[in-house]
């Protein structure tokens, strides 16, 4: 059966069905009628059914022949798509990848995971949508994204997490501050400072609320925002302290005028970042390739941790 489908017989079958004649198909394909007839007989013997009714005025597909022809045409369509995608990967055409991510990934995870892919495949266009975590699953299901990076907790119906990694909550403080001798900050001390925190649209806000409840603190932030980069910038300006989530691979050393201090309260749970896909969807080879780069990056995080 495999040899029937993956041979020139696929073309023979299509032309016989379309023209209703072995002779006409032979003329169209520029092969002998006897060669086509032998291939047809061999296929019918292999399948154990007749594919055509031999009529006085031509050939007509049987029910089995119609099923086989439908399968052949579907295979030819898929094969054409696969060839196109392989050519994309060979750089003969431009492919594209669409990724939906939550804001927490943009600070250091996303650039690190995306950079090696972009450098190795400069002709592939990358489209990154930074959205609320709750939207990512639906974008993946709807085909608006090939895969997503989300902190939304499992289970999520219709999607599968192919990789996951832990992110730890850190206090974002100005590099020049009175806590410089310290390597951690307690929750109570954090909430005694002016706070700049995410609003309810950012998943990290759930962790902030948990932290406030554990320290029995009433939240009174001086600024809430759905933009974590704005939060960091305002912390750097000395307006208050913020919270963010970073992976084990990230350094807590001072950078960009900011320091990222672990919270002294070990009861604050880490966030789990997951790479999610919709397994029922068909994926282009380009998206599969991009996803593999991200999965390798996840694996490196798990193996190396904070090393």
3-class SS string, 280-298: CCCCCHHHHHHHHHHHHHH
Neighbours of 200 (CB within 10 A): 12
Residue 4's Cβ-side half-sphere holds a number of Cα atoms within 13 Å equal to: 20
pLDDT at 259: 87
Q: What is the CATH number of domain 165-271?
A: 3.40.190.10
pLDDT at 3: 42
The domain over range 94-163+272-303 is classified in CATH as 3.40.190.10: yes
Tell me the per-residue pLDDT of 123-151, one tens digit each, with 9 for 90 and over.
889 999 999 888 899 999 999 999 999 98
pLDDT at 75: 80
Q: Are the folds of 94-163+272-303 and 165-271 the same?
A: yes
Assigned CATH class of 8-91: mainly alpha
Q: Distance between CA atoms of 155 and 137, rounded to whole angstroms?
A: 11
Extract the residue ranges of the chain whose pLDDT is less than 50: 1-6, 306-307
Say what the pTM is.
Answer: 0.66
Q: What residue ranges do the domains of the chain occupy?
A: 8-91, 94-163+272-303, 165-271
């Amino acid at each position: 059966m495999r040899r029937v489908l993956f041979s020139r017989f696929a073309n023979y079958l299509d032309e016989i069905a379309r023209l209703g004649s072995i002779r006409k198909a032979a003329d169209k394909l520029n092969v002998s009628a006897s060669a086509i007839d032998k291939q047809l007989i061999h296929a019918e013997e292999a399948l154990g059914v007749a594919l055509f009714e031999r009529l006085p005025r031509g050939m007509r597909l049987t029910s089995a022949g119609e099923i086989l022809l439908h399968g052949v045409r579907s295979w030819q369509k898929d094969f054409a798509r696969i060839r196109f995608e392989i050519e994309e990967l060979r750089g003969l055409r431009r492919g594209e990848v669409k990724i939906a991510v939550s804001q927490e990934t943009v600070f250091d995870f996303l650039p690190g995971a995306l950079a090696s892919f972009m450098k190795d495949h400069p002709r592939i266009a990358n489209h990154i949508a930074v959205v609320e975590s709750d939207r990512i699953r639906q974008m993946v299901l709807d085909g608006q994204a090939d895969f997503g990076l989300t902190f939304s907790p499992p289970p999520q119906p219709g999607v599968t997490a192919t990789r996951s990694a832990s992110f730890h909550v850190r206090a974002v403080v100005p590099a020049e501050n009175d806590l410089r001798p310290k390597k951690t900050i307690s929750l109570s001390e954090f909430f005694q400072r002016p706070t700049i925190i995410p609003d309810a649209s950012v998943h990290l806000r759930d962790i902030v609320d948990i932290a406030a409840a554990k320290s029995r603190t009433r939240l009174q932030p001086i600024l809430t925002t759905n933009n974590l980069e704005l939060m960091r910038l305002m912390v750097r300006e000395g307006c208050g302290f913020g919270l963010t989530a970073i992976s084990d691979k990230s350094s807590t050393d001072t950078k960009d005028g900011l320091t990222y201090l672990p919270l002294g309260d070990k009861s604050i749970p880490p966030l789990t970042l997951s790479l999610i896909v919709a397994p029922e969807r068909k994926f282009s080879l380009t998206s599969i390739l991009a996803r593999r780069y991200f999965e390798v990056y996840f694996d490196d995080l798990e193996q190396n941790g904070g090393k």
